[in-house]
Amino acid sequence: VAPDLRGHGDADQPDDEAAYSLATFADDLVALADDLGWERFSLLGHSMGGMIAQELVLRRTGHVERLVLMDTHHGPVEGLDPATVALAVDVLRRDGLPALLELIAMLPAGPKAPSDLRLRAEREGYAAFADAKVHRCSGAMYAAMGLELTSRPDRLVELEAIDVPALVLVGAEDRDFVAAAERMAAAIPGARHVVVPDAAHSPQFEHPEAWWAAVHEFLADD
């Protein structure tokens, strides 16, 4: 199951920024599992989703059977400058999401741009998927989460309490997250640490065979 979280896709999109937080997303996932009749489940979180997964496994213990943290961080992301994020949030609040996306398109390419450009050129349908995903999200969600991702508490020490099998996976070229993945894998008792070569922030698209092999092996392991 790959749910649309609140503020994403076909899910409800409240206009109030207070409706969005990592903790709220985690609670929404538990509510979804309850609706599906799942007492325990395996959980994979990518990027911001990995931060939500950490909140869930730490705050709602007993629900998660296996945990996959992928291209994510245990605290504020070093590559996100708080002042720049605050400026982007101001533009978003004042002028809306289309104006912010237009501004971002005018900026010099960031560290993830080469892999994104390669995917757009080589993988049929990826460009349409990526663009639609961005435009089908709530501006209030982007504002709230942009601020939270630069100010959230560091969970690294808390991760030492995780007592379920865990896989920490990261693309070798994902500059903002490689070191964080190494730290998380060291903190979580018994965690596996997989680095996908020649991949950046989205190894599930950049090298799907290697990504799926690592995830499938972990989930199938008794």
- C-alpha angle 93/112/51, rounded to 5°? 65
Q: Any idea where the domains of the chain sit in the sequence? A: 17-220
Distance CA(52)–CA(70), nearest Å, equals 11
Do 98 and 136 touch, CB atoms closer than 8 A? no
CATH architecture of the domain with range 17-220: 3-Layer(aba) Sandwich (3.40)
Rounded CA-CA distance 193/174 in Å is 15
Integer Rg of the chain from CA? 17
pLDDT, one tens digit for every residue, the chain (222 residues): 999 999 999 999 999 999 999 999 999 999 999 999 999 999 999 999 999 999 999 998 899 999 999 999 999 998 888 999 999 999 999 999 988 888 877 765 554 556 777 787 778 888 888 888 888 999 999 999 999 989 999 999 999 999 999 999 999 999 889 999 999 999 999 999 999 998 999 999 999 999 999 999 999 987
Q: Where are the alpha helices (DSSP H) in 40-159?
A: 48-59, 82-95, 97-106, 113-122, 126-135, 139-149
